[in-house]
Amino acid sequence: MSEQPAVSAGRRLRQAWLEQTLAIPGVFCPLVARLAERMGFRAVYLSGATLSATLGLPDIGLVTASEFAEAARSICAATSLPLLCDADTGFGEALNVERTVRLYEAAGAAGLHLEDQLMPKRCGHLSGKQLVSPEQMISRIRAACAARRDPDFVIMARTDARGVEGLPQAIDRAQLYVAAGADAVFPEALESEQEFAAFAQALPGIPLLANMTEFGRSPLLDRDTLARLGFRMVLYPVTTLRAALKATIAVLHDIHHKGHQRERQNEMLTRRELYELLDYDGYEARDRSYFG
């Protein structure tokens, strides 16, 4: 069981991105969050695409705010790392956004990002996206900022305008969102290193997040390059899920076609390693202590 620090999750996330450009892996369950913490990461991420996929659904806005908040609560209970959460479009307009912020904050999240898509939203690296007006997105940001109880809870604005209107319009929107109160900006689906550089140059001093999702429109730039360009956070939203599913396919194939999994054992956590990750001994020791 993770002990939660006294400093709020939002404050710890802000402090971490000031100290270094953060690598933020997506975590598809609480145990992966705990692995990330043990490996030295400073923050983790709950992706809408990943949460949808684990429920057997596409990332088209089908998962509810309550389902997101419950997933966030489970992850925050398993790790002391600050959790940044996908909040899609806020699950509605301004008043819905208020409730979304309060649900996420109560779950223990460090912050969330809201996007300027029109519902039903689509994956940021697919075509066919539609945007709300800048004024509608600004109303979402204002509502989010007004709803948070902890002033350090991070309100991040994501813009999907690059794939719909072009890079200049995406930059214009991002600047408007910062003026409306957004703490950080997530430009989705930039298409070259030069575009990442241009975006950062247009928003000096603003914490920026780069999405390094695989098989998308953006080149997979390394963290040092993105840090040099001016980005403070680098997101790997679906990486752990994709890797886990590929490994699962391989072992299921062996079980189905070979009738055993023996050749895959060296790719698995041992029983001891899994128990140690779960703090099995700690639970047993506490249980014995309660009986004297």
The full set of domain ranges for the chain reads 9-238, 245-290
Is 70 labeled as catalytic in the residue annotation?
no
197: its two tokens: 């550089």
Q: Is 150 a catalytic residue?
A: no
The one catalytic residue in 34, 73, 88, 173 is 88
Residue 266 known to be catalytic:
no
Report CA dihedral (117, 120, 125, 127) to the nearest 10 degrees: -100
Among the listed residues 188, 195, 232, 242, the single catalytic one is: 188
Q: List the Cα angle 102/124/245 in 5-degree steps.
A: 90
The residues, ordered by sequence, that sit 6+ positions from 204 with a Cβ below 8 Å of its Cβ are 230
Predicted local confidence at residue 37, as pLDDT: 98
290 noted as active-site residue: no
Backbone angles phi, psi at 6, to 5 degrees: -70, -35
How many Å apart are CA 53 and CA 59, to the nearest integer? 7
Summary mean pLDDT of the chain:
95
Q: Environment class of residue 33 by beta-carbon count within 10 Å: exposed (0-12), middle (13-18) or buried (19+)?
A: buried
pLDDT(265) > 60: yes
Given this model, what pLDDT does residue 6 score? 80
What's the mean pLDDT in 271-282? 95
Catalytic residue among 14, 37, 42, 45: 45
Backbone angles phi and psi of 264, in degrees to 5: -105, 0
What's the pLDDT score for residue 170? 98
Catalytic pick among 98, 115, 116, 183: 115
Is 59 considered catalytic here? yes
Q: Are 117 and 132 in contact (CB under 8 A)?
A: yes
The Cβ-side half-sphere exposure at 137, using a 13 Å CA radius, reads 31
pLDDT in tens, 99-145: 999 999 999 999 999 999 997 676 656 666 799 999 999 999 999 99
Q: What pLDDT band is residue 247 in, cutting at 50, 70 and 90?
A: very high
pLDDT, residue 53, reads 97
* Average pLDDT value for residue range 194-198: 98
Tokens of 178: 């910062």
Of 8-17, 32-41, 126-135, the one with minimum mean pLDDT is 126-135
45 catalytic? Reply is yes
pTM above 0.75, yes or no: yes
pLDDT of res. 127:
66
199 has a pLDDT exceeding 60: yes
pLDDT at residue 2, as a whole number: 55
| CATH, domain 9-238, list 3.20.20.60, 1.10.10.10, 1.20.140.10, 3.40.50.300 | 3.20.20.60
- Contact between residue 13 and residue 110 where contact means Cβ atoms under 8 Å apart: yes
Work out the average pLDDT over 165-173.
97
Q: Is 125 a catalytic residue?
A: no
Residues 6 or more apart whose Cβ sits within 8 Å of residue 261: 251, 254, 255
pLDDT > 80? residue 66 = yes
Q: Residue 5: which pLDDT band, with cuts at 50, 70 and 90?
A: low
Check 11, 42, 59, 173 and give the catalytic one: 59
- Dig out the tokens for 163 from the structure: 């794939």
Residues contacting 42, CB < 8 A, separation 6+: 16, 20, 22, 81, 82
More confident residue, 47 or 291: 47
Determine if the peptide bond prior to 30 is cis (ω within 30°): no
> Is position 115 annotated as part of the catalytic site?
yes
Q: What Rg, from alpha-carbon coordinates, does the chain have?
A: 20
Q: Which of 26-35, 70-79, 211-220, 280-289 is predicted least confidently?
A: 280-289
CB 129 within 8 A of CB 84: no
